[in-house]
Amino acid sequence: MSGYFADVAALARKDLLLELRARDTLPAMLLFVSAALVIFHFALPSGTGELAGLGLLWVAIVFTALLGLSRAFVAEREHGVLDGLVLAPSDRSAIWLGKSLAALTFLALAEIIALPLFALFFSGIDAGTVAAVALADVGICAVGVFVAAMSIATRARELLLPVIFLPLAIPVIVGGVGASVTDSPGRYFAFLALYDALFATICWASFEYVVTE
C-alpha cells in the first residue's frame, strides 16, 4: 500500500513541477477568477444584496475549476504520456488520485487569491463559507479529473468536459450556496462530505475502465 501512495505522490509531484516550470494553468485561473469577480460587480444591479453575490461566488469557483480541469490532461495527451502511465506497473487509480491532488492544489491556490478578493469587492466571508469551499473543492476535483480523463478519450475533447461536468456539479452548488447563505450550515456540510465520499469512491473504483480498453 505504501507503494501505491508513493505512486500517487510521484504523479502529483510531476504535475506540480510541470506547472512550476511552464506556468500554464494557474495564472490563467487567477486572471479568470479576478475578471469574473469584476464582471459580477457589473452584473449585479445596486440593491441586489450580498446573498446574490455569495451565490455568484460559487459560479465563479465552479467555472474557474472547469478552466483548470480542461487543461488537466493536455500535457499527457500531447506527448502520449497517458499510454505510458497506463502501462506502468501501478494501480491505474493512482493516476486519478495524483491528478486530483494536483488539481486540488491549483484550485486551492486560485481560491486563496479569489476569496480575499471577493471579500474586498463584495461582502465579508465567514468561516462557514471557507469550510464549504474546502469541502466542495474535493468533490469538484475528484469528479472533474475523472470527467476530464473521459473527455480526452473522445473526439469532442474539451467541449465535452463542461457538458458532462455541470450536471454533476449541481449538488456541489446546492451544498455550497446553502452553507454560505443559511445560518445553520451543518447539514450542507454533511451533504458536501457525502457527495465527496460517494463520488470519490466510484471515481476511484472505475477509473481503470476510463483509461484502458
Task: Please name the amino acid found at residue 28.
Answer: A
Give yes or no for a contact between 89 and 77, defined as CB atoms under 8 angstroms apart.
no
Q: Which of 150, 186, 193, 204 is the binder for another protein (CB under 8 A)?
A: 150
Residue choice 58, 122, 195, 204 for contact with another protein (CB under 8 A): 195
Name which of 108 and 190 has its Cβ closer to another protein. Answer: 190
Give the shortest CB-178-to-another protein separation in angstroms.
6
Angle at 57 between CA 56 and CA 59, to 5 degrees: 60
Could you say whether residue 177 binds another protein (CB under 8 A)?
A: yes
Tell me how far the alpha carbon of residue 196 is from its chain's centroid: 12
x/- map, 17-56, another protein, by CB under 8 A: ----------------------------------------
**Distance separating alpha carbons of residues 184 and 78, to the nearest angstrom:** 47
Residue 13 CB, nearest approach to another protein (Å): 27
To the nearest whole angstrom, how small is the minimum distance from the Cβ of residue 93 to another protein?
A: 13
Contact flag: residue 188 with another protein (CB under 8 A): yes
How many residues line the site for another protein (CB under 8 A)? 33
Residue 88 gets the label, from left (phi > 0), alpha (psi -120 to 50) or beta, of: beta
CA distance 96 to 82: 11
* Min separation Cβ 116 and another protein, Å: 25
Calculate the dihedral angle through the C-alpha atoms of 182, 57, 19, 3, rounding to the nearest 10 degrees: 20
Is the CB of 32 or the CB of 199 nearer to another protein?
199
Choice from 16, 164, 189, 193 touching another protein (CB under 8 A): 164
Q: Mind giving me the DSSP string for 3-57?
A: HHHHHHHHHHHHHHHHHHHH--HHHHHHHHHHHHHHHHHHHS-TT--HHHHHHHH
Residues engaged in binding another protein (CB under 8 A): 150-151, 153-156, 160, 163-164, 166-168, 170-171, 174-175, 177-178, 181-182, 187-188, 191, 194-195, 198-199, 202, 206, 209-210, 212-213
